[in-house]
Structure 1
Amino acid sequence: MVDDGLFDPKKHACPVPDVLLGQHVFPLRPGSVVTKSGPILAAADSLRITVYGQGGHGSMPHRCIDPVVLASSIVLKLQTIVSREIPPEETAVVTVGSLKAGDAVNVISDEAVLQVNIRTMSEEWRKRVLDGVQRIVKAECEAARSPREPLFEKLNAFPLTSNDRETTEKVREAFTAHFGDEHANMDTAASGSEDFQNLATAVNKPSVFWGWSGSDPRVWEKHQKEGILNQLPVNHSPFFAPGIHPTISTGIDAMVVAALSFVGKNQGREFDF
């Protein structure tokens, strides 16, 4: 929306807000909301990487350069970025979500395509992880005698979502007054990602993003009773099915309470809906 001229006075001319508020369902206890100052969601970068070999018949691998073996080596070596290059106090995730090569069981393909997703919690380590991915892929291609340089294509990029501290404190006070014990502070940032931050960065305004529960009370209760809350279906899982209640009411309350903490005569007071 920003790239399409959301705030451009000559295009969509959307008024520039004083503050930006955003929210998203999280796998939390039903009816609860969470906030956090500073980084709350990771930056995310997705790449498509094509590596090249020399195809041929599966019975004569010595006459080929096998891109499947090359790609497999890359997948394993990429895991060393997090395990051997990232300090223990930093957080990063490198996931190869897709690896495709060839169509026949007895034919060695001439290329393999990997799709890589990267999550980081700071701009410094974002750059270093991305540089590490390129360095490893190029080195493995050279070691495998790849006939061509690998092709890197950026699929998407999401910024680090970092909440303005003063703005977050104001929302926290309002949430505590309204939700009581159902409002909690997050200790660490989540590894999910959002493009919400782009709205604030584009106009240099403060922002705050928070999570509210999308869990079905019956599903939550079952998992809690069985001691398997770590297996609760999360966002984008094919089994993630938010409960209509209290998800809708909690989300509406959260956004209205946050908005009214900045505008209207009820600022700073408990809200009764």
Structure 2
Amino acid sequence: MIEHWQQVYRHLHAHPELSGEERATARLVADELRALPGWEVTENVGGTGVVGVLHSGPGPVVWLRADMDGLPVQEETGLDYASTVPGVMHACGHDVHVAALLGACEELSANPLPGTVVALFQPAEETGAGAQSMLNDGLLDRFPAPRIVLGQHVGPLPAGLILSRPGTLMAASDSVRITFLGKGGHASQPHTAVDPLLMAATFVVRMQALTARQTATAATPVLTAGALHAGTRPNIIADSSEVLLSLRTFTDGSRARMIEGIQRLAEAEAAAAGAPQEPKVEFYDHFPVTENTPGDTERVLAALAAASLPVMPMENPITGSEDFGAFGAAAEVPSVFWHIGGMDPARFTQDDLHYMLTESALPPHYPSNHSPRFAPDPAQALPAAITTMVTAARSELTRP
């Protein structure tokens, strides 16, 4: 059936849907689950979420999670199954997650073990709202409570390579919108105006000092400007400008200091420019730190390694973010998350692998998640991701 799941993957990749709009994706997931023996399917959980339950007698309850949403990115892969939706793409591999979890559901129902498997197909991971929306819709009351929650994320690594660590795995994340309010005017007479574009540009340069002053922390925060919007024509000074930031932190203290610093620096730039009003600073789309439960993480990774799957321990957490941890936190049970490679291993030279190991980073010439050129190889990514999820689930179902 792997050919079928590759076809499902290609369909999903060609028809991405943005966060909270995954209606066609959810219908496909529900139809595929209902075609498998033993699965009870519930749709519209937390909006467009889908939950499948496989009862196989008394035993532990294991939750498996995949996210479904795409991103507002114009695809540039050149694939024959590239996105048919202008400006929307599965640039983060959630199509791999969905197809792989469906494939795992097929294997788990074909060869069931005592216990219960709950498959969560989650909407809106990219906005940080999807997991909580499912929980707010009574997820813990409506479905069997888990003993453990498992999840995985595909990345631009050799297919099947598994990376994880106990404790902090991924950073907390906040999106920030700063609106500088100036006084518009004619470009030929800037002395009669208060230029909000200049405020925004100066702020973006100065904000780099905020992270530089936290280099002594165990994991330095990351602050990136992803967008700067202002004006309509070269000869018009606008009334306002907007800066969009992405903040990544690893501790509550670091996050609080960065939030205070962003607010202070924005207000100082406006004051220095003589702005008529203070800037508006908004924080939204918050993701908590992703924590892998110690003990349980080592046990799951050991089970994967015992099945001859390539497991590579991570020395440091990464600055990407996830809302996966909300499920385990709400249920007060362990959770284990790992990253799995989705690219043809033949693409990676020995120098590439050495760079990855020594720098804990992807070589610069590889398209990363969220790139318009990010393209996992389904022929190798899907079998690896299905096998990994099934192996982890079975190891937990058979645990006394």
2:364 alignment partner in structure 1? 230
Q: Which moved more, 1:146-155 or 1:91-100?
A: 146-155
Q: How far apart are 1:222 and its partner, in Å?
A: 10
Structural mapping, 1:244-259, within 5 Å: 244-259=378-393
Q: Is structure 2 residue 232 aligned with structure 1 residue 98? A: no
Of residues 133, 136, 139, the one that matches 2:262 is 133
* Equivalent residues in 2 for 1:29-108, closer than 5 Å: 29-87=158-216, 89-108=218-237
Distance 1:189 1:20 in 2: 19
* TM-aligned CA distance change 1:239 to 1:220, over 3 Å: farther
Partner of 2:376: 242
Q: Which residue of 2 aligns with 1:164?
A: 293
Query: What's 1:18 paired with?
Result: 147
2:321 aligned to which of 185, 190, 193: 193
Deviation, 1:176, is 1.2
In the alignment, the residues of structure 2 paired with residue 191 and residue 106 of structure 1 have an alpha-carbon distance, to the nearest angstrom, of 40
Give the stretch that moved more between structures: 26-35 or 84-93: 84-93
Number of the residue aligned with 2:335: 207
Q: Does the residue aligned with 1:126 lie in a helix, a strand or coil?
A: helix
Alignment root-mean-square deviation, CA: 2.3
Q: Take 2:153 and 2:220, find their aligned partners in 1: how far apart are those partners?
A: 21
Q: CA deviation at 1:131?
A: 1.4
- The structure, 1 or 2, with the larger RCO (C-alpha pairs under 8 Å, 6+ apart) is 1
Cα distance per residue 1:163-182 (max 9 Å; x no partner): 000110111110110135x2
Distance 1:3 1:165 in 2: 23
| Residue correspondences, number | 264
The aligned counterpart of 2:22 is none
Segment drifting more, 103-112 vs 86-95: 86-95
The 1-side partners of 2:214 and 2:177 are apart by 22
Deviation at 1:36, TM superposition (A): 0.4
Q: Distance in 1 between matches of 2:132 and 2:222?
A: 28
Partner of residue 175, structure 1:
304
Question: Structure 1 pair 232/5, CA: closer, same or farther in 2 (3 Å)?
Answer: closer
Whether the aligned pair in 1 keeps the contact of 2:159 and 2:381 (CA below 8 Å) is: yes
Match of 2:395 among 252, 261, 270: 261
Deviations 1:115-143 (A, max 9, x none): 01001112221121111111111111111
Q: TM-score normalised to the size of structure 2?
A: 0.62
1:147 aligned residue: 276
**One-letter code aligned to 2:380:** P
2:241 is matched with: 112
Q: Measured at CA, do residues 5 and 243 of structure 1 come closer, stay the same or move farther in structure 2, by a change above 3 Å?
A: closer
* TM superposition shift of 1:84: 2.2
Amino acid at match of 1:213: G
* Deviation, structure 1 residue 238: 1.2
Identify the range of structure 1 (4-13 vs 111-120) with the bigger mean alpha-carbon deviation: 4-13
Separation (CA, whole Å) in 2 of partners of 1:49 and 1:12 = 39
**Structure 1 unaligned residues grouped into runs of 5+:** 269-273
Paired with 2:288 and 2:194, the residues of 1 have a C-alpha distance of 38
Contact 1:216–1:244 at 8 Å: present in 2 too?
Answer: no
Displacement of 1:217 after TM fit?
3.1
SS of the equivalent of 1:256 reads: helix
Task: Give the residue type in structure 2 aligned to 1:187.
Answer: E
Which residue of structure 2 lines up, in the alignment, with residue 271 of structure 1?
none
Q: Measure the CA separation in 2 of the matches of 1:131 and 1:238.
A: 33
Superposition deviation, residue 89 in structure 1: 3.4
Secondary structure of 2:348's match? helix
CA distance, structure 2, for counterparts of residue 153 and residue 235 of structure 1? 26
- Which SS does the other structure have where 1:54 is aligned? coil
Match of 1:184 in 2: 312
- Counterpart amino acid of 2:174? D
Q: 1:34 to 1:259 in 2, by over 3 A?
A: same
Q: Gapped runs of 5+ residues in structure 2?
A: 1-45, 47-130, 356-361
Distance 1:258 1:205 in 2: 16
Q: Residue 189 of structure 1 aligns to a residue in which SS?
A: coil
Q: What's the secondary structure of 1:202's corresponding residue?
A: helix
